[in-house]
Amino acid sequence: MSFQNPVFIPGPTNMPEAVRQACYMPTIDHRSPTFGKILHPCLDGVRQVLKSKDAKIFIFPSTGTGGWETALSNTLNKGDKVLAARNGMFSHRWIDMCQRHGLDVHIVETPWGEGVPAGKYEEILKADKNHEIKVVLATHNETATGVKSDIAAVRKALDAAGHPAMLFVDGVSSIASMDFRFDEWGVDIAITGSQKGFMLPAGLAIIGFSSKAIAASANATLPRTFFDIKDMQKGYDANAFPYTPPVGLMNGLKLSLDMLLDEGLENVFARHHRIAEGVRKAVSAWGLELCAASPDLYSDTVSAIRTPEGFNATDIVTHAADKYDVAFGVGLGEVAGKVFRIGHLGSLTDVMTLSGLATAEMCMVDLGLDVKLGSGVAAAQEYYRTNPAAGK
């Protein structure tokens, strides 16, 4: 295994040295007060990153998928109605999970490359006179298509319909990288993981619950133990977990939160936007298009790039790994073979990004695409040098 080149997958991201070192701590007693000094700053810091005053934060030794399951199983009952849009691989998987847990999902099929259709949601919610829909799902950032959805608009749809359904948002690839407003958007459950904006290894599901969501948990009968938030809360109240916590990862999260909050959330978001914008300049210079249908949908954490008809976009990813030891993301599901993805989140600089763009160019030329070497790099360079990083 060579670890020399940065990775350009949309998570896990490159990790800051200090964060890796924080994760790599020796064993401590996880039932001692020492653990509380790691746990509580994590809970507080995540709450700040979510821009929430009093969301209850839960951290499970799991992944974003476990976060989805935590959300559903703690708040719903078999047969409950859920409204969801399918516009990418990750929204698709969450819907699939709902169905496996016996929920009745009203699926709004949405073209891959478009965002959550707030207008359609509003219609459906208005039509649901009996308020049978218990939860509305929204994927803030579809990692598969590089599409950012407008969660504020979804909230407006709920409000316009005067509908009491809860709003659950998958922020796995947005939270801690792109603006997320738990309180302002009236989010009831937000879900993320450790391996994206928090720049940690995978292994933590990180979840925020509104008081409404907490209240719903009192009557929820879907079976759960590992993901039970009541057990977890009882644990936290005693500086503990209901089982052995992933102490090192949480120690890393504590540091990552310190770093993000010291930098300032708006600066973190601006940093991601700047890096992303350079990538988009390159894509444009290559004469290619993003999967995301319009600029307002462009994600600042991942770009899914459409390749010409008849070309297998996955070849770029395989070739980059084989010949250059560089990792990009393949297209998934409906866009498999049609797009390749450049992840540009977490611990990444303009300079590192340029090496990813240069590699993509070499791959495309190697594979016969009509792209000029240096062209995308030059476009990104021009953007980066004239829009320097904060403080530079």
Footprint on residues 185-224 left by a second copy (CB under 8 A): 193, 195, 201-203, 222-224
Nearer to a second copy among residue 185 and residue 241 (C-beta): 241
341 is in an annotated binding site: yes
CA 344 to CA 92: how far, in whole Å? Answer: 23
Among 267, 273, 355, 369, binds a second copy (CB under 8 A): 355
Closest CA to 195 of 346, 50, 369: 346
The interface region with a second copy, picked from 93-101, 117-125, 132-140, 287-295 by CB under 8 A, is 93-101
- Please select the residue that binds a second copy; options are 162, 351, 368, 370, rule is CB under 8 A: 351
Q: Please say which residue, 160 or 352, places its beta carbon nearer to a second copy.
A: 352
**Most distant CA pair in the chain, distance:** 61
The candidate with the shortest Cα–Cα distance to 355, out of 8, 3, 2, 1, is: 8
Is 245 among the residues that bind a second copy (CB under 8 A)?
yes
Closer by beta carbon to a second copy, 52 or else 217: 217
Cis before 12 (ω within 30): yes
Query: Looking only at residues 357 through 386 of this chain, which bind a second copy when binding is defined by CB under 8 A?
Result: 358-359, 361-362, 365-366, 372-375, 377-378, 381-382, 384-385
Q: Which is nearer to a second copy, 125 or 257 (CB)?
A: 257
Instruction: Count the neighbouring beta carbons within 10 Å of the beta carbon of residue 54.
Output: 10
In the DSSP assignment, the letter for residue 35 is H
Distance, C-alpha 71 to centroid of its chain: 15
Site for a second copy contains 256 (CB under 8 A): no
At closest approach, how far in Å is the CB of 2 from a second copy? 8
Tell me the C-alpha to C-alpha distance, in Å, between residue 256 and each of 46, 143, 249, 250, 347. 10, 22, 10, 9, 11
For a second copy, the closer of residues 54 and 382 by Cβ is 382
Residue 153 or residue 202: which is nearer to a second copy going by CB?
Answer: 202
The residue within the footprint of a second copy, chosen from 55, 58, 66, 182 (CB under 8 A), is 66
Strands, DSSP E only, in 229-336?
A: 289-290, 302-306, 329-330
According to the binding rule CB under 8 A, does residue 278 interact with a second copy? no
Contact between 67 and 193 under an 8 Å Cβ cutoff? The reply is: yes
Return d(Cα 152, Cα 368) in angstroms, integer: 43
Stretch that binds a second copy, among 17-25, 106-114, 119-127, 302-310 (CB under 8 A): 17-25
Out of 36, 41, 111, 242, the only residue in the binding site for a second copy (CB under 8 A) is: 242
Binding residues for substrate: 341
